Structure 1
Amino acid sequence: MNRTAATRTPVELVVLDMAGTTVADDGLVERAFAAALPEHTAEAAEHVRATMGESKISVFRHLTGGDEERAQEANRAFEGAYARLVDQGLCAPLPGAEDTLRRLRAEGRTTALTTGFARDTQDRILRALGWEDIADLTLCPADAGGRGRPHPDMVLTAALRAGVGSVAAVAVVGDTASDIRSGLRAGASVVAGVRTGAHDADTLLDAGATHVLDGVADLPALLADREG
């Protein structure tokens, strides 16, 4: 579904989220959060679901009431728990994701994979999938000054590194409201939500998504149609 009229600015850079957008989540994030905070409440679990896509340390700061030491400890436990799940083979690409990434590059577009995870976890996921070279750029919050989504920093860092002519030449794709807000704040002309992750179509549209797709495999056709 398309919420806004398309423009004709060619997309030079596509910034894609990982878990829930290009990589299957299947509850792994929530399981890792539960391992990191075994005493968590139902309210905390709801906050985790609502803030999917954000930098994980910022979520733990909220859950620990701003106690930085506890937040850092919980974040380390989360990253360790998620890493163990990845090492157990519970990490797989979403249907069509790999073909989409390769097609976008073949079309001459720069691709960037972004995440709210720490760099070590992001690299572990990429190795598990054999994706070390599948994208031109891979970014985590630390690569963009430390602020994750919904701030625009990772998108803007990708745009600077790619040398795009305008932020209007950027497309952002994600499965959460945080992904959408990050893309909008960066000025991307395409900010597409996908229905393969944490948030449903209504949530993505309420956040301001310009498009909602069934999955990332539909992205190349969207860009081709929009550019005529």
Structure 2
Amino acid sequence: MTTELAVLDMAGTTVADDGLVVRAFTAAIASAGVSEEDSRYPGMLKYVKDTMGQSKITVFRAMLGDEAKAVAANEEFQRAYEKLVADGECAPIPGAEDVIRGLRESGVKVALTTGFAPATQRAILDALGWHDLADLVLAPGEGVRGRPYPDLVLTAAMRLEIGDVRNIAVAGDTPVDVHTGLRAGASIVAGVLTGAGKRGEFLEAGATHVLDSIRDLPDLLNPA
């Protein structure tokens, strides 16, 4: 198989998370009237961790059961996360930039995807200077559903004119990344152990491979 496209997750896979999602969630849920001392907080935090990788507005809708509250919480999440990024608490996973550049130099197109809103994704790209690093960046919205739907992968394939979904590799740090890749028909769907997911969770989700780091992806795509 010749890999034409690598679809790579951002936070936890190519970008270090270091607890930023949890911190932003805590601020967001506080805006909905749930403090860390509230009896509901532990269960909500567990749900956020269990749904890592999914579109955040979808997570807040499921959690709060009220559209207005979900939208407000999602907007506060974006503000809190973007402030953390602006304050310098955002860094690439070691070796990620080299991997992306190396893949593109070898003829593999690269798309960076996320469960964050487009504005949050742009804030990360701004902070890291990554706007020209990949061939394409995508976030949920404007007719593109978030994970675990296959839309992010398939939209990347269409926009980058990939001829066969079997020539796509997907890598991410959560089981939901794996579900997305499999639903899109990618031949390589790798779980990456630098973020939220564990090896057993990836295998249970059906991952074709489990990688210690995104740095291991080139060897998987181009075995000696």
TM class by shorter-chain length?
A: over 0.9
What SS does the corresponding residue of 1:141 show, helix, strand or coil? coil
Question: What are the Cα deviations for residues 162-189 of structure 1, in whole angstroms up to 9, with x where unaligned?
Answer: 1111100000000001100000000000
Give the residue type in structure 1 aligned to 2:167. Answer: A
Count of residue pairs brought into register by the alignment: 216
Deviation of 1:146 (Å): 3.9
The yes-or-no answer on 1:93 pairing with 2:92 is yes
Aligned residue runs from structure 1 range 110-149, under 5 A = 110-143=109-142, 145-149=143-147
Q: CA deviation at 1:158?
A: 0.3
Q: Secondary structure at the match of 1:142?
A: coil
Structure 2 gaps of 5+ residues are 35-39
Structure 1: gaps (5+ residues): 1-8
Corresponding residue for residue 213 of structure 2: 215
User: SS at 2:147's partner residue?
Assistant: coil
Name the amino acid aligned to 2:130: W
Match of 1:45 in 2: 45
* Structure 1 vs Structure 2 CA RMSD: 0.9
Q: Name segments (4+ residues, structure 1) moved above 3 Å.
A: none
Give the letter aligned to residue 203 of structure 1: E
- Give me the whole-angstrom Cα distance separating, in 2, the residues matched to 1:35 and 1:13: 36
Q: Report the TM-score, using the length of structure 1 for normalisation.
A: 0.93
Inter-partner Cα distance in structure 2 for 1:27 and 1:176: 15
Distance, in Å, in 2 between the alignment partners of 1:157 and 1:96 is 26
Structure-2 separation of matches of 1:112 and 1:199: 21
In the alignment, the residues of structure 2 paired with residue 97 and residue 35 of structure 1 have an alpha-carbon distance, to the nearest angstrom, of 29
Distance across 2 between alignment mates of 1:158 and 1:147 = 13
Q: Normalising by structure 2, what TM-score?
A: 0.95
Q: Does 1:14 align with 2:14?
A: no
Corresponding position of 1:63: 63
- For 2:16 and 2:216, the matched residues in 1 are separated by 16
TM-superposed CA distance for 1:41, in Å, is 1.4
CA positional deviation for 1:10:
0.5
